[in-house]
Amino acid sequence: MSDQTILGAPQPSGFPESGPLLEVRDVATRFRTGRGMVQAVNGVSFVLQRGQTLGVVGESGSGKSVLSRSIMGLLSSNAERTGQIIFEGADISDLSPAGYRELWGKEMAMVFQDPMTALNPVMKIGNQITESLRFHLGMDKNEAKETAIALLRAVKIPEPEQRFKAYPHEMSGGMRQRVVIAIALACGPKLLLADEPTTALDVTVQAQILDLLADQQRERFMGVILVTHDLGVVAGRADHIAVMYAGRIVETAPTAVLFREMQMPYTEALLSAIPKLNQASHTRLSAIGGRPPDLINPPAGCAFSPRCPYAQERCHVEQPPLQESPTTPGHYFACFYPVNSPETKAAKERIAVEQLMATAPIDPRPEGA
């Protein structure tokens, strides 16, 4: 796919510069609502290096989208954010709206979940791309048009010259998501936040879009934060993974390490709840009981403890800190009794026995049913 290098856009200057691209320090985001304060993100910290991909995984309500919006400075007016966001060594946590305008598109850009609503329906797609080229890079009309067509070609939209004049409703969902990506890439950002970029798309189109993002990332040496609920999407594509639950990172590690030796029972449960292609049909799924916690009145102790089959007394009272694994540097998890601890192993055995007892054949149909 390196058939087309993007014209006009400055080559990302971020090559051999030292220091991480993005540092997020103890970020917390709360929303004032009629029912009370919603603790959507609660003390999240991580570091993203240039050219790397961080996969942020969690269920709805885990705070993963609010986290990416907090980094982008795209929060609604009822939000309160604390903590620090350091981008290329500069603190951008308290930037003014005008300051963010300088950053958006040029330094960091975002790809949203729903390509149907991310585009302006009454504006030709070409103009939606040239808008930021002219604003940030000061291009004249023709130069911006040529660059936009090159961008459309780079995201593999057929007949880009004709498509330049099309409206969003004339394109399919996959094509629109390509346009959204072209807009995000237009000014050569160093950081790309992709918030569920393929959730609204079919599986074959999803594969095309993820391939496209990976190619563009490699070519431009961008840092990418890929937010998704699907562990399958990040498994092959992220360098690091952060698993979120109830607004906190509960486990984070390099991708291979996370899948090889996951420690947090929530991560394990999330993975085993997914139906697998290599399981025989009618395999009983190991569902996680209950549902995600109420973020207005979060449970005491570990937020996962009410659903965790291995929870002990202490889990319901005390919040486990996110700590580095003693055996694997770079692997952090927030759990008192990780998957391989003696307590959890004992609990697992006990549950296995109980299940065996309970797997009696399902009761015959009740009388009169």
Partner 1 sequence: MAGSGTAHLRDPNQMLLRVENLVVEFPVGRKGTVSAVSNISFDVAEGETLGLVGESGCGKSTTGKAVMQLPRPTRGSVVLDGQELTALSGEALRTARPRFQMIFQDPISSLNPRRTVADIVAEPLNVWKVGTAEERRARVDEVLGTVGIDPEAAASRKPFEFSGGQCQRISIARAVITDPKLIICDEPVSALDVSVQAQILNLLEDMKARYGLTLVFVAHDLAVVKNVSDRVAVMYLGKMCEIGPPDDLYSRPAHPYTAALLAAIPLPDPSIDPGATAHLGGELPSPLNPPSGCRFRTRCPRAQDICAQSEPQMQKVGEDHYVACHFPLETPVAAPGVH
User: Rounded to whole angstroms, how far apart are CA atoms 225 and 193?
Assistant: 5
Find the part of the chain contacting partner 1 (CB under 8 A) among 42-50, 107-115, 235-243, 316-324.
235-243
Considering only residues 232, 321, 329, 330, which one is a binding residue for partner 1 as defined by CB under 8 A? 232
Q: Identify residues 54-113 at the interface with partner 1 (CB under 8 A).
A: 59-60
Q: Is 159 left (phi over 0), alpha (psi -120 to 50) or beta?
A: left
CA distance 248 to 193: 18
Residue range at the interface with partner 1 (CB under 8 A); choices 15-23, 231-239, 325-333, 351-359:
231-239
- Name which of 136 and 237 has its Cβ closer to partner 1: 237
By CB under 8 A, residue 34 contacts partner 1: no
Please state the separation of Cα 157 from the chain's center in Å.
25
Q: Is 180 in the site for partner 1 (CB under 8 A)?
A: no
Residue tagged 């103890």 (tokens): 26
Q: Closer to partner 1 at the Cβ: 92 or 258?
A: 258
Select the span of 81-89, 135-143, 229-237, 341-349 touching partner 1 (CB under 8 A). Answer: 229-237
3-state secondary structure of 208: helix
Binding mask 201-220 vs partner 1 (x if CB under 8 A, - otherwise)? -xxxxxxx-xx--x------
Three-state secondary structure readout of 25-55: EEEEEEEEECCEEEEEEEEEEEEECCCCEEE
3-state SS record for 313-346 = HHHHCCCCCCEECCCCCCCEECCCCCCCCHHHHH
**Which run of H or E residues covers position 206?**
helix 203-220
Task: Name the burial class of residue 146, with classes exposed (0-12), middle (13-18) and buried (19+) by CB atoms within 10 angstroms of its CB.
Answer: middle
Site string for partner 1, 240-259 (x = CB under 8 A): ---------------xx-xx
By CB under 8 A, tell whether 35 contacts partner 1.
Answer: no
Residues 271-330 that bind partner 1 (CB under 8 A): 271, 273-277, 279-289, 291-292
Instruction: Report in angstroms how near the CB of residue 248 gets to partner 1 at its nearest.
Output: 17
Q: Which of 229, 314, 316, 348 binds partner 1 (CB under 8 A)?
A: 229
Q: Where are the beta strands (DSSP E) in 60-167?
A: 79-87, 90-91, 108-111
Interface with partner 1 (CB under 8 A)? 59-60, 172-175, 202-208, 210-211, 214, 229-233, 235-237, 255-256, 258-259, 269-271, 273-277, 279-289, 291-292, 362-363, 365-366, 369
